[in-house]
């Protein structure tokens, strides 16, 4: 990875974080904390061009499929999609307004979103079907899935985890945004997921772990997962901080449902400082 690319990705991640907070200022019902833990993941996938995509044709047959199984946390993808030309940039200023395209939870009416999610725990199973179809079609495209760690509480996810390794879906890459907090509490106090790596390994998945806010680690891990061989599905456990970049969210177990007030939004943007 070149220094130039690292610099670009860092700059982009900073910008995405800032834009995400701005959107939250416009639409306070958006889930800000969840949308801040996956900023570096989205940045690496799109600006690092790990994903194959075409803003002009969001249904391009050769694209990599990206299923966002925790779409409440994808407000941070709005600025990226707008910047890349999937959407009109003006949409960012009217998120959640009457008649606007972008709501609190993205859906398939928005170019760039493959599936309806929202209710958690469905994305990986749907991705299994897509991965199977792509293999059958002898396509080189991969299927990426972003899920939350709290989402792993849903039983249907484990049906899919078992299915994916049994059917050797090595074109499937799951990214767990391991921000360690669900809605009401720290996951460790609810259902402790540790040891998460071992759980996946036991189910025959190829596992990698990265600091989810170190853009170089995220980029390198995703690139390697995409390119490396092997018979089995792959997972990146990205260790992240829910609410990353906004101190009053970072240390709050209830940050999932915290909405910032107008003054807090202005301060949060100011506190981001420079890249």
Partner 1 sequence: MRDVFIEKVYEKMRKNSMIFFLSADLGSPALDKLRNDFKDRFINVGIAEQNLINVATGLALEGYAVYAYGIAPFVTMRAYEQIRQNLSISSQIKPVNVNIIGVGAGLSYDVSGPSHHCLEDISIMKLLPNFMVFSPSDWKLAEYFVDYSINIKMPKYLRFDGRPLPLIYEKINDAIFKKGFHELLKGKKVCLVSTGFMTHRALKVAKELQGIGVIDVFMLKPLNENLLFKALKKYKYIITIEEGFINNGGLDSLISKILRNHRSGIRVKNMGFNDKHVFEVGDRDYLHRLNNLDENSIIKIIKEWTKQ
Q: Segment near partner 1 (CB under 8 A), from 70-78, 110-118, 177-185, 205-213?
A: 110-118
One of 136, 138, 270, 274 touching partner 1 (CB under 8 A): 136
One of 34, 37, 76, 115 touching partner 1 (CB under 8 A): 115
For 147, list phi and psi in degrees, rounded to 5. -130, 160
Q: Taking the complex as a whole, how short is the minimal distance between the CB of residue 24 and partner 1, in angstroms?
A: 25
One of 49, 62, 93, 108 touching partner 1 (CB under 8 A): 108
Q: Segment near partner 1 (CB under 8 A), from 18-26, 102-110, 198-206, 257-265?
A: 102-110
Q: Taking the complex as a whole, how short is the minimal distance between the CB of residue 28 and partner 1, in angstroms?
A: 25
Provide the token pair at 4: 């130039």
**Closer CB to partner 1, 54 or 214, in the complex:** 54
When asked if residue 114 is in the footprint of partner 1 (CB under 8 A), the reply is yes
**Closer CB to partner 1, 34 or 69, in the complex:** 69
The DSSP line for the chain is --HHHHHHHHHHHHHHHHHHHHHHHH-TTS-HHHHHHTHHHHHHHHTTT-S---TT-TT-TTSPEEEES-GGG-TTHHHHHHHHTSS-GGGGGGTTSTT-S--SS--TTSTT--S---STT-HHHHHHHHHHHHHHTT----EEEEEESGGGGSHHHHHHHHHHHHTT-TTEEEEEEE-SB-SSSBHHHHS---SHHHHHHHTT-EEEEEETT-HHHHHHHHHHHHH---SS-EEEEEE--TTTT-HHHHT-TTGGG----HHHHHHHHHHT---
Residues of span 160-179 touching partner 1 by CB under 8 A: 160, 162-163, 167
Q: How far, in Å, CA of 127 to CA of 67, rounded? A: 7
# residues contacting partner 1 (CB under 8 A)? 30
Please choose, from the candidates 274, 208, 248, the residue with its C-alpha nearest in 3D space to the C-alpha of residue 36: 248
When asked if residue 137 is in the footprint of partner 1 (CB under 8 A), the reply is yes
Q: Taking the complex as a whole, how short is the minimal distance between the CB of residue 204 and partner 1, in angstroms?
A: 16
Q: Segment near partner 1 (CB under 8 A), from 42-50, 105-113, 214-222, 256-264?
A: 105-113
**Closer CB to partner 1, 49 or 137, in the complex:** 137
Question: What's the chain's length in residues?
Answer: 275
Provide the token pair at 213: 């806010």
When asked if residue 140 is in the footprint of partner 1 (CB under 8 A), the reply is no
Q: Taking the complex as a whole, how short is the minimal distance between the CB of residue 124 and partner 1, in angstroms?
A: 8
When asked if residue 62 is in the footprint of partner 1 (CB under 8 A), the reply is no
One of 24, 31, 72, 122 touching partner 1 (CB under 8 A): 122
Q: Taking the complex as a whole, how short is the minimal distance between the CB of residue 227 and partner 1, in angstroms?
A: 23
Q: Which residues bind partner 1 (CB under 8 A)?
A: 107-109, 114-119, 122, 124-134, 136-137, 155-156, 159-160, 162-163, 167
């Amino acid at each position: 990875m070149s220094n130039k690319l690292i610099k670009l990705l860092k700059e982009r991640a900073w910008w995405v974080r800032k834009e995400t907070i701005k959107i939250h200022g416009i639409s306070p019902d958006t889930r800000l904390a969840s949308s801040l833990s996956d900023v570096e993941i989205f940045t690496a996938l799109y600006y690092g061009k790990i994903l194959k995509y075409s803003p002009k044709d969001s249904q391009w047959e050769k694209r990599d499929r990206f299923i966002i199984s925790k779409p409440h946390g994808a407000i941070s993808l709005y600025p990226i999609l707008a910047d890349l030309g999937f959407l009109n940039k003006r949409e960012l200023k009217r998120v959640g307004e009457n008649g606007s395209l972008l709501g609190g939870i993205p859906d398939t009416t928005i170019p760039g979103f493959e599936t309806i999610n929202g209710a958690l725990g469905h994305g990986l199973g749907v991705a299994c079907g897509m991965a199977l179809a792509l293999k059958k079609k002898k396509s080189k495209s991969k299927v990426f899935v972003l899920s939350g760690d709290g989402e792993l509480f849903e039983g249907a996810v484990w049906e899919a985890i078992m299915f994916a390794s049994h059917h050797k879906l090595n074109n499937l890459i799951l990214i767990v945004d391991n921000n360690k907090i669900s809605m009401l509490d720290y996951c460790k106090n609810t259902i402790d997921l540790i040891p998460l790596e071992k759980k996946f390994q036991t189910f025959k998945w190829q596992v990698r772990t990265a600091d989810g806010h170190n853009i170089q680690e995220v980029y390198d891990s995703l690139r390697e997962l995409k390119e490396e061989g092997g018979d089995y599905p792959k997972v990146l456990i990205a260790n992240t901080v829910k609410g990353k970049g906004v101190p009053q969210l970072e240390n709050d177990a209830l940050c999932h449902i915290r909405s910032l007030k107008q003054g807090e939004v202005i301060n949060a943007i100011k506190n981001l400082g420079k890249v």
